[in-house]
Amino acid sequence: MEHLVQLQNVTMSFGTKRVLSGVNMSVAPGGITALMGASGCGKTTVLRLIAGLLGMQGGTLVLFGTHLDTETNPEVIVALRKRMGIVFQSSALFDSLTVGENVRFPLKFCLGITDENELGARVERMLSQVELEGIEKLYPAELSGGMRRRVAIARALVYDPELLLLDEPTTGLDPMTARHIDRLVASLGRRAGAGILLVTHDLVSALGVADTILLMEEGQIAWSGTPEEWHATDDACVRFFSKGMIPVTKGGEEPWNGN
């Protein structure tokens, strides 16, 4: 499969407000695509369309080779959704469930696993990978913001999805914790072989982990390229978005001097 996701001339309006205006983009298997832009530019709407949380209005969405449009049966969308993991900006953990029960949920819902030994082993292994060993019995309210975000990542990856969608995973976190989340997302996603769509306004995060960067402006993709091309371009949209920020080169270690 050449692309896990393709959007072709996708449009979306809420009432009289046009949110997406002919969006064309794709997400490749095994790669990390960062979709950036200012608040209100439409990037989260794109993620929600791909996740099946919004219905199509115009254009075509090709997901895992299946063409989706306004006539697609909702059952098809539900089946495709089970092939992707999602990390929401709020983490969206179930407050009434323990950490272990939260991480178990997609194993039961998406894979139909019921064996308690297998469930326990997979949850324990996944929590270890996000460096949260031994917290299965805690509740989300007992965790820090960074820990909740890591539990959400564990829940999204525990059933080996083909596509990982992340909506502002570093928002509200201190810089050190945010970079920790970046490293976990990059290492775990690549280890699992999942394609990743990272929706963010965090330029440091995008340039630190992404293979491809897409910049949205007023409901359209205004620029696309690699982190290296981002540094080199004189594109006005890129320069405006970069103004006042301190991005880093791929790998997250070397500061960019703005030249």
Residue 259 has pLDDT above 60, yes or no: no
Position 122 scores a pLDDT of 93
Domain residue ranges of the chain, discontinuous segments joined by +: 1-83+202-259
Superfamily of domain 1-83+202-259: P-loop containing nucleotide triphosphate hydrolases (3.40.50.300)
Least confident of 47-56, 69-78, 147-156: 69-78
Give the full edge-to-edge strand order of the sheet including 195-200.
Answer: 84-87, 163-167, 195-200, 32-36, 212-217, 220-225
Task: Report the distance separating Cα 54 and Cα 46, nearest Å.
Answer: 9
Q: How many whole angstroms separate alpha carbon 146 and alpha carbon 202?
A: 16
Residue-wise pLDDT for 95-153, tens only, equals 999 999 999 999 988 888 889 999 999 999 999 999 999 999 999 999 999 999 999 99
pLDDT score for 245: 53
* Predicted TM-score of the model (pTM): 0.87
Q: Per mean pLDDT, which range of 88-97, 172-181, 221-230, 235-244 is the poorest? A: 235-244
- Amino acid letter, 219: G
Widest Cα–Cα separation across the chain: 57
Across residues 173-201, what is the average pLDDT? 89
Mean of the pLDDT values across residues 188-212? 90
Q: What is the pLDDT of residue 2?
A: 80
Q: Torsion angle of alpha carbons 170, 86, 43, 56, nearest 10°?
A: -170
pLDDT at 246 over 80: no
Half-sphere exposure of 8 (CA within 13 A, CB side): 10
